[in-house]
Structure 1
């Protein structure tokens, strides 16, 4: 599958995250099913423009659990599956679903226009937010999150695909990255970890 051919750089980043997740959680910390990133010194900033032309940052979403995913709208499998799972989890939470915000960061700003992002995300959940920037801003955001992506040439210049890290980053209601949710685990572990963060916020 194209988006799972992470390459050596992505594999190295994934292994690093895996080691981070091997640390034993403190007794007062929740037991996540994803990789625990509590205290990570990256994924601290995200400042891009949304599909409505509004400048956004992580601070805008304080009070909500964020699920941040880097992908592109022409992705055939990983991206739509991930967004569908986030939407499923959000619906399953009932009233608490309003406290969950899905954020899709495009790694293909050349093709993913604001209008395209708007239509794409609305097909999953009307509350989802798409973020885009220039090539330089996109590279900076990916570097901040330790996300790998690369263009894979197609038969024509317009039909390229993108290899990219296939995972979501979950933030708590204080805007701190807490969980690295690997693609392929399904909606249940994602729901489990989001519920833990929502419960944590109520304490």
Structure 2
């Protein structure tokens, strides 16, 4: 089942007159607004089904974050930091309101937010509401929803078999389909039909014919391969596709004989112990419990403690300095002053929760 998938990009203008060192007497650790803009009002529902209106909390310091519960990493880090702030306000707790606004109303319903916050012990407001109301809230707070990025932000459906096509120019396609119980020939036919790829090919193991825009000739043909999970490589098949029975671990590939087989995408992502999030240069594995990403290879998952990787060139794919990745997969958390104006912003996830807490308390004491 396909769900509406969205991810957040918050835009803050760092140009002159928007953000920078303020002119007041207060000393903030986050990014201070030079001319604090008004915090736009909104009316939504909290995890208990109660109406929440932002303007009702004028006179208190308000923390506003835009997150969603299905987010596998970024939002979880932000929520964990907010939980730390919430639990360390001490005698200032009555003067501070913390708000998490969902960017995924299709899944973040009132009942889901109620269960989710209870399971994690989160006691601050988690807000949702009608799509039209939330869209207006995003616009007024300069929040952009990036549908393409979030489409890669959840684990893929389980139980899918993979068909890889590697063409003579070493470009490739990945087709995924549930082929359990089918023979390989029927699985290949169904997958190619589902992905609307033209094909006129025998069932191998070596076949002449056409896949996509590529037709074999006297110099090359199509060679059937299967994925060897133990060695994690594609192995040339010695039998036709119709003789192969598909189980949950069967993955096949048609590879042109004049291509570089090492360029074929793997039969299973992340060594079979995770799933890939993101795409292109920012793609990286989200590893299963008990496994971790190798420092020098974002697309692998190894058992924790089994690696001896001394690479000095490693950059975490969640690091803010990675440009396009940070833009497509990050957020801004706002601190609103008692006068209902945005005063401080923390961009991304690599901010210190103690420094954030200090800025909140500074505004409480203002």
Q: TM-score, normalised by structure 2?
A: 0.46
Deviations, residues 83-138 of structure 1 (Å, cap 9, x unaligned): 22122122222121232221111111001110111222332432x11111222211
Q: Tell me, which stretches of 5 or more residues in structure 2 are unaligned?
A: 1-5, 158-276, 279-327
2:19 corresponds to which residue? 21
Higher normalized contact order (CA 8 Å, seq sep 6+, divided by chain length): 1
Q: Which has the higher helix share?
A: 1
Aligned length: 185
Is the counterpart of residue 92 in structure 1 residue 88 in structure 2? yes
**Please, what is the CA RMSD of the aligned residues?**
2.6
2: distance between equivalents of 1:56 and 1:191?
A: 23
1: distance between equivalents of 2:36 and 2:105?
A: 27
1:65 corresponds to which residue? 61
Q: Which has the higher strand share?
A: 2
Deviations, residues 136-155 of structure 1 (Å, cap 9, x unaligned): 21111011111122223355
| Contact 1:18–1:35, Cα closer than 8 Å, also in 2 | no
Q: Tell me, which stretches of 5 or more residues in structure 1 are unaligned?
A: none
Cα distance 1:110–1:32, how it changes in 2: closer, same or farther (>3 A)? same
Deviations, residues 50-72 of structure 1 (Å, cap 9, x unaligned): 22222221122233221111111
CA drift of 1:39 comes to 3.7
User: Given the alignment, which residue of 176, 198, 203 partners 2:364?
Assistant: 198
User: Given the alignment, which residue of 33, 39, 44 partners 2:40?
Assistant: 44
Is the counterpart of residue 55 in structure 1 residue 68 in structure 2? no
CA drift of 1:42 comes to 5.1
User: Given the alignment, which residue of 75, 78, 85 partners 1:82?
Assistant: 78
User: Given the alignment, which residue of 109, 126, 138 partners 2:105?
Assistant: 109
| Contact 1:38–1:177, Cα closer than 8 Å, also in 2 | no
1: distance between equivalents of 2:44 and 2:89?
A: 28
Secondary structure of the 2:133 match is helix
1:136 corresponds to which residue? 132
User: Given the alignment, which residue of 119, 122, 125 partners 1:125?
Assistant: 122
Asked which structure has the greater CA Rg, the reply is 2
Bigger drift between 187-196 and 37-46 goes to 37-46
Secondary structure of the 1:112 match is coil
Secondary structure of the 1:148 match is strand
Cα distance 1:84–1:140, how it changes in 2: closer, same or farther (>3 A)? same
1:153 corresponds to which residue? 151
Cα distance 1:166–1:18, how it changes in 2: closer, same or farther (>3 A)? farther
| Contact 2:48–2:110, Cα closer than 8 Å, also in 1 | yes
Cα distance 1:121–1:164, how it changes in 2: closer, same or farther (>3 A)? farther
